[in-house]
Copies of this chain bind each other. A is one copy, B any other.
Amino acid sequence: MKTRPYHHGDLRAALLALAEDTLRDRGPAELSLRELAREAGVSPAAPSRHFKTKQALLDALAVEGFERLTGTMTGVLERAGASFAERLTALTRTYVSFATGNPALLELMFSRKHEPNPPAELITAMQGLMTMATDLIEDGQRRGEVREGPIVMAAVPLAAILQGMTDLALSGGFTGEQVDEGLTETIAFILRGYAP
The interface of chain A, by Cβ under 8 A from chain B, is 27, 103-104, 107, 113-115, 149-150, 152-153, 156-157, 159-165, 167-168, 170-172, 182, 185-186, 189-190, 192-193, 195
For the complex, give the distance between the alpha carbons of A192 and B167 in Å.
23
- 13 new A-B contacts, CB < 8 A, other than A113-B167, A157-B190, are A103-B114, A113-B171, A149-B185, A150-B185, A152-B168, A153-B182, A156-B164, A156-B167, A157-B157, A160-B160, A163-B163, A163-B164, A192-B195
For the complex, give the distance between the alpha carbons of A55 and B166 in Å.
25
For the complex, give the distance between the alpha carbons of A114 and B172 in Å.
9
Q: Is the CB of A161 within 8 A of B171?
A: no
Q: Is the CB of A165 within 8 A of B156?
A: yes
This chain: copies in complex: 2
Q: Is the CB of A160 within 8 A of B153?
A: no
Q: Is the CB of B171 within 8 A of A156?
A: no
Nearest chain-B residue to A163 (Cβ)? B160
Given contacts A160-B165, A164-B156, are A189 and B193 in contact (CB under 8 A)? Answer: yes
B residues less than 8 Å from A182 (CB atoms): 153, 156
For the complex, give the distance between the alpha carbons of A64 and B107 in Å.
24
Given contacts A157-B186, A164-B161, are A114 and B195 in contact (CB under 8 A)? Answer: no
Nearest chain-B residue to A158 (Cβ)? B164
In the complex, 13 of the A-B residue pairs with CB atoms within 8 angstroms, ordered by the A residue number, are A113-B167, A153-B185, A153-B186, A157-B161, A157-B164, A157-B189, A157-B190, A159-B164, A160-B161, A160-B162, A160-B163, A164-B164, A192-B195
B residues less than 8 Å from A161 (CB atoms): 156-157, 160-161, 164
B residues less than 8 Å from A185 (CB atoms): 149-150, 153
For the complex, give the distance between the alpha carbons of A192 and B161 in Å.
15
For the complex, give the distance between the alpha carbons of A160 and B159 in Å.
9
For the complex, give the distance between the alpha carbons of A21 and B114 in Å.
17
